[in-house]
């Protein structure tokens, strides 16, 4: 593992420990530990935090995919060059609602909309 990758891994571990601490602090404030809680209570809070992280990561990854797309692409139907814009829409992932950023192009020549990405013509 190179130095940059190792540093990122250590930073992720640090942030995850910090998030775990915040999660437990919230449970303390809610009185969860005034008595010994059933482990499912602890597990539920941890799973909720994991889903929040997953949604954030999905949103960020979608923005990165959109950022890699060219500003102008050829229409897959007629070949005319079309401007690409981004749009946000709410989707439901396995971990809950995610604001998805996606690229969209509208061809004025053949009146077709398509969804290009960095490695696709947007047809499939």
pLDDT, residue 42, reads 96
Asked whether the beta carbons of 95 and 58 are under 8 A apart, the reply is yes
Dump pLDDT digits (tens) for 49-61.
999 999 999 999 9
Dump pLDDT digits (tens) for 62-109.
999 999 999 999 999 999 999 999 999 999 999 999 999 999 999 999
Burial bucket for residue 122 (CB in 10 Å: 0-12, 13-18, 19+)? buried
Cross-sheet strand order for the sheet of 81-93: 72-74, 81-93, 96-107, 112-114
Dump pLDDT digits (tens) for 2-43.
999 999 999 999 999 999 999 999 999 999 999 999 999 999
**Average pLDDT of the residues of the chain:** 93
Structure tokens at 85: 């814009």
C-alpha closest to that of 110 among 78, 82, 67, 84: 78
> How far is the C-alpha of 58 from the C-alpha of 95, rounded, in Å?
10
pLDDT, residue 12, reads 97
> How far is the C-alpha of 78 from the C-alpha of 114, rounded, in Å?
12
């Amino acid at each position: 593992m190179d130095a940059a990758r190792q540093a990122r891994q250590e930073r992720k571990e640090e942030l995850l420990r910090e998030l775990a601490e915040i999660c437990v602090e919230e449970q303390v404030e809610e009185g969860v530990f005034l008595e010994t809680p059933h482990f499912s209570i602890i597990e539920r809070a941890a799973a909720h935090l994991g889903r929040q992280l997953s949604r954030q990561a999905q949103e960020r990854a979608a923005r990165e995919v959109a950022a890699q797309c060219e500003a102008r692409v050829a229409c897959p139907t007629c070949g005319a060059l079309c401007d690409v814009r981004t749009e946000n829409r709410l989707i439901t992932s396995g971990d809950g609602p995610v604001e998805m950023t996606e690229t969209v192009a509208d061809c004025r020549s053949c009146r077709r909309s398509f969804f290009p990405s960095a490695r696709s013509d947007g047809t499939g």
